[in-house]
Chain A
Amino acid sequence: MTFRARHLLGIEPLHPLEITTLLDLADTYVDLNRRTIKHSDALAGMTQINMFFENSTRTQASFELAGKRLGADVMNMSVSQSSVKKGETLIDTAMTLNAMHPDLLVVRHQNSGAVNQLAEKVNCAVLNAGDGKHEHPTQALLDALTIRRAKGRLHRLTVAICGDIAHSRVARSNLILLGKMENRVRLIGPPTLMPAGVAEFGCEVYDDMKAGLEGADVVMMLRLQKERMDGAFIPSEREYYHRYGLDAEKLAFAKEDAIVMHPGPMNRGVEIDGTLADDINRSVIQEQVEMGVAVRMAAMDLLARNLKAHRGAEAAGEH
């Protein structure tokens, strides 16, 4: 097995072989999850804390379910109950949590890098469930698994990522992962929603959606936050839908068998046409949710194995 990482903080530190290992294991968990008795004891006796500084129903539920199916004791903490609101520093929060001896810490935070900072101060495995505009590694991994199962491979594909690239951690993680696996990545969106220095990312940048979709195997749509539609980044919702919303007409420029993805939750009629999102021949949006649980099970399983090995080595005095 090739998976050495202690934490899953982002896609950036992962080796392509580690990604493949994780996806292979996730495939087996997809099978497990489709059975009636979906239980494994990979994490039996271990404690998993889900710490969400930023609200999320879907991701938190996915992590919770993944942990429970692997037999972990799962606890959810949300920011409104946490002492961060009382002025405690991030590091204090980390130290306090650490004293409770969790084994897996799943963290979502509104600030880029906050999960990395937390990980430095704790003795358990940390999973990044999304930090600011930085990374969302499990989303990129579940997208990768979805693509691999739909297309039969995860290399030499043309993937178009469309929408609010600048503010999207999903876009960053996907961009890095797809690059590592040797795919051709195109970024499509209005220039105000493109990050600075995007030309140096090693991908193609388009502001015309039809040109960008030409010959794409995968069309990945991003959610556009409501607060960015008020004239600050784009003139209006309807102009955005007209130019960058995915509908059948624009999708016709992609390959005939191109799949449509969306990390959810969708704004129907803003970035994607509702009928298209529900078209089971093109849209794999429901599969993405299913793969999410399996990928998170695989990630936690692998990190738990490394954690046990690490602690074992420490106990044997090898450090």
Chain B
Amino acid sequence: MTIFLENARLIDPEAGEEREGNVILHNGMIAAIGAASAPADAQVIDCRGRALAPGIVDIGAKIGEPGERHKESFRSAGLAAAAGGVTTIVARPDTHPAIDNPETLEFVTRRAAEASPVRIRHMAALTRGREGREMVEIGFLRDAGAVAFTDYDRVVRDTKVLSRCMTYARSLGALIIGHPQDPGLSAGAVATSGKFASLRGLPGVSPMAERMAFDRDMALVEMSGVKYHADQITCARTLPALERAKRNGLDVTAGVSIHHLTLNEFDVGDYRTFFKLTPPLRSEEDRVAVVEALASGLIDIISSMHTPQDEESKRLPFEEAAAGAVALETMLPAAMRLYHAGAMDLPQLFRAMSLNPARRLGLDCGRLAEGAPADLVLFDPDAPFVLDRFKLQSKSKNTPFDGARMQGRVLATFVGGRQVFGEAP
């Protein structure tokens, strides 16, 4: 099967540039870029000058399988991803039970492949049951396809355990993903400490909790030499530490969630629980600093941190409500806010959403180049719409962007050279 995409605005994150052109997809790969005319048997799609970029590789989406299928299944997550231009979901292991052994990993890998229209890769827990005591079978899990190891928001408190996990992981070249939040200082907190949290009477955590935990992890990374990725860096005060770690040659990358790039603590407003996230939304100064760090390349990766929650768990007082927001489908339109604000251009954004995450995980996708997998998203960065949460593909509808004016709409998504979303041309 051959597809000829013509008149596209090609977003090339590797070269850091965009240009007009045509693309030929053949046998699941990008066969040619810039060819003047369509091959004889090709299906022709006229992109009419819309943007064509490598599909998003999203590190850190939660899917409810196993354990919470009523919140999200591989099918619904896959459909949401396709509608959002995400071509590879890298799923989190904070499921029930946690994905902490090769058997569970094989089960979810098979389920995902059957049900999802987009690619799904899996991360495994770092310790058994994410309890921070015994390391998982890192070798077997890697052989079974785990692309990274993380306990997500249950930070490993015991530094001896963590240092051994890191040292062992290093020998296998495995990537460890940390969640820099000091568990002591952040215990019970649902907001960032400051005037807003104090006036609202919400327990807050100092941004310093992120810096402390990051500093601790950096010391252990320096000791063990492991490959390390910080899932979410959200505070200005952590940035100098990140910059220093990179300058000292540690194999460290950092991510940030799309919500921490586009929202701040004031969006919580009158205790709106859809804005309750982990870590909590930050001050506007922090948000701006993090956007700048992303534009400069200090922060490498944007993630959705997609976390489906059912209605019941959000219909509670703010302190008791579940944290997290769905974002697979809204990540690209939300990222366009950064583009329209002039903070980043499209190649920079897709460097952070597609190229960098793929590279960090050692995946071949995320590129707009001949010979790369034909995982692409066609979108109109300017198309305006008002978001209606009940039209989302996810089973859970907990988006902070309900009713928000968005600009940037996905028109079609291709995975392995096959169109998985969008109107038939």
Q: How far is the CA of A92 from the CA of B270 in the complex (A)?
A: 19
Q: How far is the CA of A102 from the CA of B330 in the complex (A)?
A: 40
**Is B42 an interface position by the 8 A CB rule?**
no
Contact with B along A235-263 (1 / 0, CB 8 A): 00000000000000000000000000000
**Is A269 an interface position by the 8 A CB rule?**
no
Q: Which residues of B contact A197 (CB under 8 A)?
A: 193-198
Contact B199 A172 (CB under 8 A): yes
Residue of B nearest to A112 (CB): B201
Contact B317 A113 (CB under 8 A): yes
Contact A132 B316 (CB under 8 A): no
Q: Which residues of A contact B206 (CB under 8 A)?
A: 196
What's the least CB distance linking B204 to chain A, in Å?
Answer: 6
Of B202, B204, B271, B319, the contact of A116 (CB 8 Å cutoff): B271
Q: Which residues of B contact A217 (CB under 8 A)?
A: none
Of B195, B204, B315, the contact of A200 (CB 8 Å cutoff): B195
**Is B134 an interface position by the 8 A CB rule?**
no
Contact B198 A195 (CB under 8 A): yes
Also in contact, A111 and B320, with CB within 8 A (given A90-B315, A116-B271):
yes
**Is A133 an interface position by the 8 A CB rule?**
yes
Residue of B nearest to A89 (CB): B315
Of B203, B271, B316, the contact of A89 (CB 8 Å cutoff): B316
Of B193, B270, B271, B318, the contact of A196 (CB 8 Å cutoff): B193
Q: How far is the CA of A166 from the CA of B197 in the complex (A)?
A: 11
Contact A112 B193 (CB under 8 A): no
Also in contact, A196 and B202, with CB within 8 A (given A92-B315, A113-B271):
no
What's the least CB distance linking A171 to chain B, in Å?
Answer: 10
What's the least CB distance linking B263 to chain A, in Å?
Answer: 18
Q: How far is the CA of A132 from the CA of B197 in the complex (A)?
A: 12
What's the least CB distance linking A93 to chain B, in Å?
Answer: 10
Contact B319 A112 (CB under 8 A): yes
What's the least CB distance linking B309 to chain A, in Å?
Answer: 12
**Is A91 an interface position by the 8 A CB rule?**
yes
Contact with A along B312-326 (1 / 0, CB 8 A): 100111111000000
Q: Which residues of A contact B318 (CB under 8 A)?
A: 111-114, 117
Q: How far is the CA of A161 from the CA of B206 in the complex (A)?
A: 25
Main secondary structure of the interface of B (DSSP, over half): loop
Contact A112 B200 (CB under 8 A): yes
Q: How far is the CA of A166 from the CA of B346 in the complex (A)?
A: 45
- Which size bracket describes the interface of A in this complex? 20 to 34
Q: Which of A272-312 contact B (CB under 8 A)?
A: none
Contact B198 A90 (CB under 8 A): no
Q: Which of A135-183 contact B (CB under 8 A)?
A: 135, 166, 169, 172
Of B196, B201, B202, the contact of A135 (CB 8 Å cutoff): B201
Q: How far is the CA of A197 from the CA of B197 in the complex (A)?
A: 9
Q: Which residues of A contact B317 (CB under 8 A)?
A: 90, 109, 111-114, 117, 132
What's the least CB distance linking A132 to chain B, in Å?
Answer: 5
Residue of B nearest to A133 (CB): B201
Contact with B along A108-141 (1 / 0, CB 8 A): 0101111011000000000000011111000000
Contact A90 B316 (CB under 8 A): yes
Q: Which residues of B contact A90 (CB under 8 A)?
A: 315-317
Q: Which residues of B contact A198 (CB under 8 A)?
A: 198
Q: Which residues of A contact B316 (CB under 8 A)?
A: 89-90
Contact with B along A190-220 (1 / 0, CB 8 A): 0000011110110000000000000000000
What's the least CB distance linking B285 to chain A, in Å?
Answer: 13
Q: How far is the CA of A109 from the CA of B201 in the complex (A)?
A: 13
Contact A89 B200 (CB under 8 A): no
Residue of B nearest to A134 (CB): B201
Q: How far is the CA of A131 from the CA of B270 in the complex (A)?
A: 13
Q: Which residues of A contact B204 (CB under 8 A)?
A: 196
What's the least CB distance linking A197 to chain B, in Å?
Answer: 4
Contact with B along A76-94 (1 / 0, CB 8 A): 0000000000000111100
Q: Which residues of B contact A200 (CB under 8 A)?
A: 194-195
Residue of B nearest to A92 (CB): B315
Q: Which residues of B contact A112 (CB under 8 A)?
A: 200-202, 271, 317-319
Of B193, B195, B202, B312, the contact of A201 (CB 8 Å cutoff): B195
Also in contact, A113 and B270, with CB within 8 A (given A132-B201, A196-B193):
yes
Q: How far is the CA of A166 from the CA of B196 in the complex (A)?
A: 13
Contact A169 B198 (CB under 8 A): no
What's the least CB distance linking A20 to chain B, in Å?
Answer: 23
What's the least CB distance linking B187 to chain A, in Å?
Answer: 12
Also in contact, A113 and B200, with CB within 8 A (given A89-B315, A89-B316, A92-B315):
yes
Q: How far is the CA of A201 from the CA of B198 in the complex (A)?
A: 10
Q: How far is the CA of A109 from the CA of B319 in the complex (A)?
A: 12
Q: Which of B168-218 contact A (CB under 8 A)?
A: 193-204, 206
Interface centre among B316, B317, B319 (most CB of A within 10 A): B317
Contact with A along B250-286 (1 / 0, CB 8 A): 0000000000000000000011000000000000000
Q: How far is the CA of A200 from the CA of B271 in the complex (A)?
A: 21
* Other A-B pairs beyond A89-B315, A112-B201, 10, CB < 8 Å: A109-B317, A111-B318, A111-B319, A112-B318, A114-B271, A116-B270, A131-B201, A166-B198, A196-B197, A201-B198
Q: List 23 A-B contacts (CB under 8 A).
A: A12-B199, A89-B312, A89-B315, A89-B316, A90-B317, A91-B315, A111-B317, A112-B201, A112-B271, A113-B201, A113-B317, A113-B318, A114-B271, A114-B318, A132-B201, A133-B201, A133-B203, A134-B201, A169-B201, A172-B201, A196-B193, A196-B204, A200-B194
Query: What are the 4 closest A-B residue pairs judged by CB atoms, nearest first?
Result: A113-B271, A111-B317, A133-B201, A134-B201
- Residues of B participating in the A interface, judged by any CB pair closer than 8 Å: 193-204, 206, 270-271, 312, 315-320
